[in-house]
Structure 1
Amino acid sequence: MVSDEDVTDNENTVDQDARHAAKMARKKAARDRIMAEKTGDKGLIIVHTGAGKGKSSSAFGMVLRCVAHGLPCAVVQFIKGAWDTGERRLLTGHFGELCQFYAMGEGFTWETQDRARDIAAARAGWDKAKQLIADERLRMVVLDEINIALRYDYLDVAEVIDFLRRAKPPLTHVVLTGRNAKQELIDTADLVTEMTLIKHPFRSGIKAQAGVEF
């Protein structure tokens, strides 16, 4: 026997489902109107910055999307060139025909302890980056950790911004990663994401690990 309470519960459930469906229908209609207005394509200047982990990881995720769509792309590493990273192994070992990879850095600044050498490496990386960015065949160019080179004034941020504005092809995306992105670059970018540090295992004595950090 079905009790009055069961009937009421069923009616309430049906009412809630109907209200939810109506709410989602309104949201979908509003979303469809917004999406219908977005019709243009544009090569974006994208900045990943902040103290939290995931800046380079996010950029490499975008590179893999390009590869999956058969879109040619390139990576220039400004700092971590000395590292044997998983991204580098994967892209050069399996997708070299779609993704060019240039490891131009020689390690973090506290490892080299040679400002002139760091500046020379940064300039070489930027010269390669300019060649790649100007190549209209490439859909995306990632400048990994370039923000560190800009922070220490190894590169002139005004020069970088001027080149991006003047020479970047209309449909080429350029992704610039690294902590402490300069405000001028943030103001120029189309998309800026700041990774916020909440917890990190390094603070608990856990070293960088393959598959997580590199």
Structure 2
Amino acid sequence: MSSSTKPEHVVGCLLAGGRSLRMGGNDKSLALLGGTSLLEHVYHRLNAQLAHVALSSNHPMPAHEDLGIPILHDPIADFPGPLAGILAGLRWAQSMPSKPEFVFSVAVDTPFFPMDAVETLLKTAGRNPGVPVVSSCLSRAHPTCTLWPVSLADTLQAYLDAGERRLMGFCQAQEAVFCPFPPIRFGEEEVDPFFNINDAESMHEAETILESLALGINHEGGQ
């Protein structure tokens, strides 16, 4: 997608602010998949869809800074979870002269999320104004991959200030709608394109998926 066709009323927020406890406390965003960091995999897909992208990271490393994009810190201390990164993204969007209407968030451990994610979510948002649009596949919701109206920033701030932390709880409170995506198919096998990497086992599975995609083994949907 060329820069001229990227929607100007949507900006992207790459969520990389967690502590990666199931990855031994190491920075998950720098873990290598097929010789390329998860950070680069996800940034490439996000940057291909949006003209403006920021990174939510509480402890930025040189690899984060090398992307040359804004780095956002949680506005709330003690690692309150992905909602804090989403709030940072919404506040960043509010500060922009272009005044975008939406922030699309995606987690750094989701290297196969669809290349048409933003376009597809926007279609659903057009029929459901003012509410989050949550990605889903194979009957499973993926709230870290959601299109958020910037108008929800103060509501989310109040939710967090009240001590609430549940991402899906906030989505439900805002009457979020769900946008289904097709799975990636390898013959008879179906893979959720929002497959996320949390540990060594899922990293191994991701390597297998990546190799199959590189070989072009009968895959469709989600790409």
TM-score interval, smaller chain: 0.3 to 0.5
Structure with greater Cα Rg:
1
Give TM-score scaled by structure 1 length. 0.33
The answer to which structure has the higher strand fraction is 2
Q: Which has the higher helix share?
A: 1
The alignment's TM-score, normalised by the length of structure 2, stands at: 0.32
